[in-house]
A and B are shown apart, each in its own frame.
Chain A
Amino acid sequence: MDPGFIAQYLLNGIVLGVIYAMVAVGFTLFFGVLDVIKFSHGDVVMAGAFTALATYAGLEYLGVGDGAIAAIVITVMGIAAMAALGAVLAKLLILPLRDAPPLNTLLITLMFGLALRESVRLFYPNGSNPKPFPQLLPDAAMTIGNLELRLDSVLLIVLGLGAIVAVHLMIQRSRIGLAIRAVAQDPETARLMGINFERVVLMTFALGSALAALAGITNGLYYSEVNFGMGLLLGVIGFSAAVVGGLGSLYGAIIGGFLFAALQTIGAVWFSVPAYKDVFAFACIIVLMAWKPTGLLADKSAERV
């Protein structure tokens, strides 16, 4: 195969991997801190993208021009709104159910996701149709042989990787990160040490949801289109990536995200019917999970039992 096309497949795969990793990191954060699986995560991704889209419509109305300023404003708005939504969700739905069976949390977040999705479909103007997402990044492109290297793809990769690294540094280096790690390891002892348990949980959910919003906006900017159902598959893929990497492990989520993107790309190149690529990718995930049930990078918390 021509090296230009190989590079093109690689580039497509990396962008996908960054988006999946951002979603998977959220799942892993929530599980690490509170041992919950939040199934509305995919729909938060979608809601983040739609918040950004609505902000853009507002900016257009106010006459603020396209380009860098608009891109920054809509990203900040999307992230802030979803961070707030994540914290509210944790406060109102997840913390009160802390002592209930885990199945209840799973169900309630599943239903919240459904409600969020249907609300966007019904109440966003013409929400059941795919919506064009504004092209705010420079559309400069370089053609190297058969590779179409677009500046916006490169920017999105840098932005996504930057965000993941920032979250990693925050958890490893900052005081709140220390508190998050303490709660993840042992909530009771962490409380005894004077850590505000509730505040740490809310912070974690805000952080994970902010990352989800960024994934949604990246998705919108990359595909120039968002739709109310986009969170469904993204949620399942993000969850699979987190599980296969090892729920609770940050590196595991990142590896899982890129692994899934790689499997999808290989599947599409390999099979003459590309519709099989998801079948192939999910089948590989099943095999991996059977082989390593605690994930590729088993989290320390697995030993906790």
Chain B
Amino acid sequence: MTYPEVNAFTEAIMKLNRATLITTLLVFLLAGCSSEKDTVKIAFIGPLTGGVSANGLGGRNSAELAVRLHNAESSGNYTYELVALDDECKPNIGVQVATKVAADKDVIAGVTHYCSAVAMGTVDVYHKFGLPVVVWGAVLPDITYGNDYKEVHRVNGTMINQNEVAADFMLEQGYKTWVIIHDTTDYGKGHNRYFSKSLVAKGGRILGTFGVSSDQQDFNAELTKVKELNPDVIYFGGLAPTGVRLRSQMEKLGIDAVFQGTSGIVSDAFIEGLGPLSEGVIAFREGAPVENLPGGEGFLVRYDQQGFGEPPEAYGAFAFAATQLIIDAIEKVGPDRDAVKQELNTTRDHDSIVGLITFDDNGQNTVALITRYVIQDGDWVVWEQSEYAQGERSLQKR
């Protein structure tokens, strides 16, 4: 070799590696001395960097909390270690890290993915390696329903659950006719499909369905058509920017239908973009504000005690519940992937901070929690706590 600096560099790395190795060994030895229990590894995968990293970090902290709380108790059979990895919300990176943990025989199960596209890409990996996982945030139905992999489970709801609740709720309010506007991405099309199916089955009538592009600015032509159809409700499957345009242009054409959205518009940007026009808009989202969850307050108190740098965010409680579910399964059947998989598949009415968890044949939690929201005075308010529910205000066309 004629590159002395390269050699020196390699040597330094090797030294570093040796040092790390020795330290790790020491840590393990010490850990072994201080406790009689075996250590079991659980993987956590989520977006720890990038645009949605707030959710990923909140999820990781929540999973870490579940592990720490368990380790602090003396009654368990095992000590747990959380291996947290970053999928960057990118499918290619997700498959890399999924393969990494799935190939590590010490990892018994995984709490995996916030982003639907990543989860769709990795389910095959988990199936191939036989690693049982519980999805904690991704909402696309196909993650559990698009395959028959026994390894894949999910504690949070899907857009199917969301739209079933949406259809039930709106019919209960006495509305009869709908026009559906959706963006032509997978997200918008999925919402259109599941809401239409659910609504028609329950007796609602759809007068027209319009696909629009997600960066469209002018909706006057579409909305003039909608005005001709004169529905009780305009259902919008898409994200906040398009929703803002639709709602404000509805007003300019004098359309007085109720505006019903999906989880994609539940954001502060939607309210900021509309101002007072946002009043009375309805939307649905998987999960709930943490403080409204069955075990939410206790969770928040314990989360705060750990002094994490980031808040748990909307899906933290689900990551916590998924981790606890896995720990409970391992405690029962031991650190064996196959046995844990079987145990997870038989989950029925398992108590958790997000409510009772029951997996169907596809590993999907059937009693998934969906929250109904209405905008009141410039805030997303949970329906049950709003003045609309108490009859002090009323929605359009009631």
Return chain A residues, CB-CB under 8 Å to B184. Answer: 275
Q: Does A174 contact B (CB under 8 A)?
A: no
Return chain B residues, CB-CB under 8 Å to A31. Answer: none
**B350 CB → nearest A CB, Å:** 40
**A2 CB → nearest B CB, Å:** 7
Return chain A residues, CB-CB under 8 Å to B311. Answer: none
Return chain A residues, CB-CB under 8 Å to B253. Answer: 8, 148
How many angstroms from the CA of A187 to the CA of B226 in the assembled complex? 53
* Chain A 119-151 interface residues, beta-carbon cutoff 8 Å to B: 126, 129-132, 141, 143, 146, 148, 150
How many angstroms from the CA of A130 to the CA of B272 in the assembled complex? 9
- Selecting from A53-61, A190-198, A261-269, A286-294, the interface stretch reads A261-269
Contact for B225 among A131, A233, A268, A275, CB less than 8 A: A268
- Selecting from A34-42, A209-217, A221-229, the interface stretch reads A221-229
Contact for A132 among B212, B224, B240, B273, CB less than 8 A: B273
**B253 CB → nearest A CB, Å:** 5
Query: A274 contacts B218, CB within 8 Å?
Result: no
**A127 CB → nearest B CB, Å:** 12
Query: A150 contacts B252, CB within 8 Å?
Result: yes
How many angstroms from the CA of A2 to the CA of B216 in the assembled complex? 27
Query: A274 contacts B212, CB within 8 Å?
Result: yes
How many of chain A's residues touch chain B, expressed as a range? 35 or more
Query: B213 contacts A230, CB within 8 Å?
Result: no
Query: A16 contacts B218, CB within 8 Å?
Result: yes
**A262 CB → nearest B CB, Å:** 11
- Selecting from B157-165, B242-250, B301-309, B330-338, the interface stretch reads B242-250
Q: Does A118 contact B (CB under 8 A)?
A: no
Contact for B224 among A12, A225, A230, CB less than 8 A: A12
Report the nearest A residue to B228, measured CB to CB. A5
Return chain B residues, CB-CB under 8 Å to A5. Answer: 224, 227-228
**A153 CB → nearest B CB, Å:** 8
Report the nearest A residue to B249, measured CB to CB. A223
Q: Does B221 contact A (CB under 8 A)?
A: yes
Q: Interface digits, B230-266 against A, CB 8 Å rule (1 contact, 0 not)? A: 0000000000110011001100111000000000000
Q: Does A273 contact B (CB under 8 A)?
A: yes
Query: B245 contacts A269, CB within 8 Å?
Result: no
**B210 CB → nearest A CB, Å:** 5
**A150 CB → nearest B CB, Å:** 6
Size of B's binding interface in residues, CB under 8 A: 30
Q: Interface digits, A66-84 against B, CB 8 Å rule (1 contact, 0 not)? A: 0000000000000000000
Query: A146 contacts B273, CB within 8 Å?
Result: no
Contact for B244 among A146, A225, A268, CB less than 8 A: A225
Q: Does A9 contact B (CB under 8 A)?
A: yes
Query: B273 contacts A269, CB within 8 Å?
Result: no
Query: A132 contacts B275, CB within 8 Å?
Result: yes
Query: A2 contacts B273, CB within 8 Å?
Result: no
Contact for B213 among A264, A268, A278, CB less than 8 A: A278
Return chain A residues, CB-CB under 8 Å to B215. Answer: 229, 233
**B143 CB → nearest A CB, Å:** 27
Query: A130 contacts B273, CB within 8 Å?
Result: yes
Return chain B residues, CB-CB under 8 Å to A12. Answer: 218, 220-221, 224
How many angstroms from the CA of A66 to the CA of B112 in the assembled complex? 51
**A157 CB → nearest B CB, Å:** 14
How many angstroms from the CA of A153 to the CA of B252 in the assembled complex? 9
Contact for A230 among B217, B220, B227, B240, CB less than 8 A: B217
Return chain B residues, CB-CB under 8 Å to A9. Answer: 221, 224
Return chain A residues, CB-CB under 8 Å to B252. Answer: 148, 150, 153, 224
How many angstroms from the CA of A72 to the CA of B71 in the assembled complex? 67
Please list 25 pairs of residues, one from A and one from B, whose beta carbons are closer than 8 Å in the complex, sorted by A's number.
A9-B221, A9-B224, A12-B224, A16-B218, A126-B272, A131-B273, A132-B244, A132-B273, A132-B275, A148-B252, A219-B217, A223-B218, A223-B245, A224-B252, A225-B245, A227-B241, A230-B217, A233-B217, A264-B218, A269-B225, A273-B210, A275-B184, A275-B210, A275-B211, A275-B216
The 8 A-B residue pairs with the shortest CB-CB distance in the complex, in nearest-first order: A268-B221, A12-B220, A148-B254, A129-B269, A274-B222, A130-B273, A275-B211, A224-B248
Residues of A within 8 A of B (CB): 1-2, 5, 8-9, 12, 16, 126, 129-132, 141, 143, 146, 148, 150, 153, 219, 223-225, 227, 229-230, 233, 264-265, 268-269, 273-275, 277-278
